[in-house]
Each structure stands twice: as structure tokens, then as C-alpha cells.
Amino acid sequence: MQHRLPRVSYIKAVDVWLTTCLIFVVTSMLEYAVANMLLQRTARQKEKAARPEPNSNILKAFQSSACEKNVNGVPTAILGAEIIPLTSKKHHVDMPTLDFTPLESKWNADNLDRASRVIFTSAFAIFNAVYWCAYLLN
């Protein structure tokens, strides 16, 4: 049927329709890939959090042998011959603790999927309204 029509140099209505539909299909496939990547990243983070830290038993054993309890139950550290309570402000140095836990992002796979449903549906409805108004009213 297409070969019977004359060749024209301008864009036809069907070209606009097919190109737009192709763009919607490709972007929905990209959204699926990004959602899948986010889902795998979340699963990996949960698996890593559930796994015990290597050498954690060694660290616990070292800390428990270096600290003793005095009569009041206050932990003390043994430094040479001197016993210094760990709650003492005299030798206490505040060190900032570094937290390497990943920040929670609001863009997880579920939120991306919900947003995409609304955005794609709305955009396609708007495109349809504009497309059919433009070509049927001409």
C-alpha cells in the first residue's frame, strides 16, 4: 500500500505517530533497566548489611582483654602501670566517628516505577490529545 502513494519530502502524520510511539517504547525500556539496577543495588546493600564484618570477633576479643571493670563497674584502660578510667575527661579526646553507611535515596525502584506510571500515562494522553486535535481539525 505504501508503494502506491507518491513520495513526499515533508513529514506525514503517521511518521509523527510512529516516531513518538517508538520514543515512548524506548524510554519505558530504559526506565525498566534503571529500576532493575536500583532493585539489584538495594538487594546488594541489604545482603552486605546482613553479612558480619570481617575480623569483628578479633576486635571484640581485643577490646574485652584491654578493658577491665573496676569496683564501680566503670571500664578502665590499662596503660603501663597506670589505670585510667575511660570516663575520665583528663585523657579523653573526642574523635569524630565516620559513618560509611550509604545514604538512603528516595529514588528506589518502587518510587521510580510509580513516578514512571504517572509520567508516561500523562505524557501519552497529552500527546494523543494534541495529535488528534491537530490532525482532525485541519
pLDDT tens track for 46-103 = 888 888 766 666 656 555 554 555 545 555 554 444 555 555 555 555 666 665 555 6
pTM above 0.85, yes or no: no
3-state helix, strand, coil in the chain (%, to 5): 60, 10, 35
* pLDDT of res. 78: 47
Q: Report the C-alpha gap between 40 and 126 in whole angstroms.
A: 33
Q: pLDDT for 97-131, tens place per residue?
A: 665 555 666 778 999 999 999 999 999 999 999 99
- The answer to whether the beta carbons of residues 42 and 134 sit under 8 Å apart is no
Q: Over the stretch 8-19, which tens digit does the pLDDT of each residue have?
A: 888 889 999 999
Grid cell listed for 115: 513516578
Instruction: Quote the crossing angle between the two packed helices 13-50 and 109-136, to the nearest 10°.
Output: 170
